[in-house]
Amino acid sequence: MTDIATIEQLAKKKGFFYPSDEIYGVLSGFYTYGHLGALMKRKLENMWRRFFLDEENFFEIDPSVIMSEKVFEASGHLKSFVDPIVKCTKCGTYHRADQIVESFLNRTFEGATPEELTKLIKEHSIKCPKCKGALQEVGILNMMFPIDIGAEKDLKGYLRPETAQGVYVNFLTQFNILRKKLPMGLAIVSRAFRNEISPRQLITRMREFNQAELQIFFDADKVNEHERWNEVKSYKLIALPLNERDKKSSIEVSCDELSKRIPKFYVYYMAKVQKFFLEDLKIPKEKFRFRELSDEEKAFYNKIHWDMELNLESLDGFKEIGGVHYRTDHDLSGHQKVSKQSQEIFFDNKKLVPHVLELSFGVDRMFYAMLDLFYSKEKDKVVLKLPACLAPITASVFPLVNKDGLDKMAKEVFDKIKSSFDVFYDESGSIGRMYARADEAGVPFCITIDYDTMKDGTATLRERDTTKQVRVKIEDLTSSISKISEGKKIEEVGKSIK
């Protein structure tokens, strides 16, 4: 059983992530990625970029994270980006009211109004989870962090609560610089900030976090088509439509079938998202699903909203990792109104304000999910079976013993292959300890230099998941590792040894 404490312990021990500024006591909701974490996060983000930005007119931009108050007046965040909060009359703690009611009644209350939540708290005599004190009436809190700008601090800005707004305010500039063509995709992979009332579950609910979001601008008249539709039409999506909620945890439905009630442009990108998780990140199929949200649950800017979820043992079930959002022209039209600058373009012989389909993901939640899903305990050993393309360190190199020139030779091998992969040199402790350390850090390959290396120039290459070992010539190590990572069996790249 993988519980949250196990993941927390492993993350801290190996330096994947841990609370920030710990020497001053923990400020909750802020985390640091340590050396392994930073490497793996970068690989995850790059895989996301390679996969989602592979279309002809799709690009990445990197705007500022502090944005003017006007931006959020236009987007609706000033008014609508709020959470219901409730204060305990005894201990003074603030809680997310919907979460308290949710855990008491064991159902979701996303989208419930403060009045409805107050009524439920009274009806069911729900008390403060911390001290059992009585709770006040439910109020609301805007989740954005305000920033005072300038010497007199008279200019008001906010840390962006979603990267998306950084794209919308740049839409027209980029459209004119780029190909003046739709669909156009603009992505941001960077920080977002929310003053979460109860940051919790480690890096899955933080106050400063990372998003990978892609805004796809398209002509609303073409929402029922996609030029690559034929590639996905018979592809089966794993999904939980609203009408199946009380019966199943998910069903399989072909893109063609779903497109009878959800626009093809939207369904095409659902397929793309699923392929990323199942094929690139190697997530087991039964752990994945899309969940359709009801009108009350949808984000205020969405016309169609399906969350993308993964079933995580340490978090007791399916957890939202991202979403496919049909935001229509909500944002561009909002910016047009408040800035008084037309966001219209001329395309396909007509004037239009494009619609937006957003693919939105939390990088930290994807990261956490990978630790949860690929954690395994074998006898008393922890093995993190991360896919090779995501593992922070691809290969560990060590000498069988730290003497007789084996250490010098191991360092030479390390130097030789370090420009091809992220490699780690280790020489402390027994060979068993070094393998165990590598397994726990998710290193897919270990290379051991021994006395035979001195004689015939071969090394032992060991595969983490099968623990199979082969002898490989030193000059063939990088190509052998690449071949196995691409799917070849280890016994096909070298001479098997027991």
Q: Which residues bind ligand GAP (CB under 6 A)?
A: 162, 164, 194, 196, 204-206, 209, 211, 213, 320-323, 358, 360-362, 364-365
Q: How far is the CB of 143 from ligand GAP (least distance, A)?
A: 9
Q: How far, CA to CA in Å, does 360 sit from each of 213, 304, 322, 325?
A: 4, 13, 5, 8
Q: Which is nearer to ligand GAP, 194 or 272 (CB)?
A: 194
Q: How far is the CB of 445 from ligand GAP (least distance, A)?
A: 31
Q: Which is nearer to ligand GAP, 326 or 361 (CB)?
A: 361
Q: Which residue is nearest to ligand GAP (CB)?
A: 362
Q: How far is the CB of 470 from ligand GAP (least distance, A)?
A: 40
Q: How far is the CB of 265 from ligand GAP (least distance, A)?
A: 18
Per the structure block, which two tokens stand in for 119?
Answer: 């009524």
Q: How far is the CB of 383 from ligand GAP (least distance, A)?
A: 27
Q: How far is the CB of 209 from ligand GAP (least distance, A)?
A: 4
Per the structure block, which two tokens stand in for 70?
Answer: 């006007």
Q: Which is nearer to ligand GAP, 185 or 323 (CB)?
A: 323
Q: How far is the CB of 206 from ligand GAP (least distance, A)?
A: 4
Half-sphere exposure of 374 (CA within 13 A, CB side): 24
Greatest alpha-carbon span in the chain: 80
Closest to 362 measured CA to CA, from 48, 96, 53 = 48
Closest to 352 measured CA to CA, from 164, 174, 172, 173 = 172
Q: Which is nearer to ligand GAP, 27 or 91 (CB)?
A: 27
**Cα 107 from Cα 450, distance rounded (Å):** 59
Give 278's DSSP letter.
Answer: I
**Residue whose pair of structure tokens reads 């933080």 in the numeric block:** 206
Q: How far is the CB of 295 from ligand GAP (least distance, A)?
A: 16
Q: Which is nearer to ligand GAP, 331 or 426 (CB)?
A: 331
Q: Which is nearer to ligand GAP, 205 or 437 (CB)?
A: 205
Half-sphere exposure of 395 (CA within 13 A, CB side): 29
Q: Cβ neighbours of residue 372 under 8 Å, at least 6 residues apart?
A: 2, 7, 312, 313, 314, 315
CA 479, distance to chain mean position in Å, is 30
Q: Which is nearer to ligand GAP, 293 or 434 (CB)?
A: 293
CB 170 within 8 A of CB 331: no
Q: Which is nearer to ligand GAP, 20 or 254 (CB)?
A: 20
* Type of residue numbered 50: R
Q: How far is the CB of 88 from ligand GAP (least distance, A)?
A: 22
CB 168 within 8 A of CB 217: no
Q: Which is nearer to ligand GAP, 321 or 393 (CB)?
A: 321
**Cα 149 from Cα 153, distance rounded (Å):** 5
Q: Which is nearer to ligand GAP, 164 or 449 (CB)?
A: 164
Q: How far is the CB of 335 from ligand GAP (least distance, A)?
A: 15
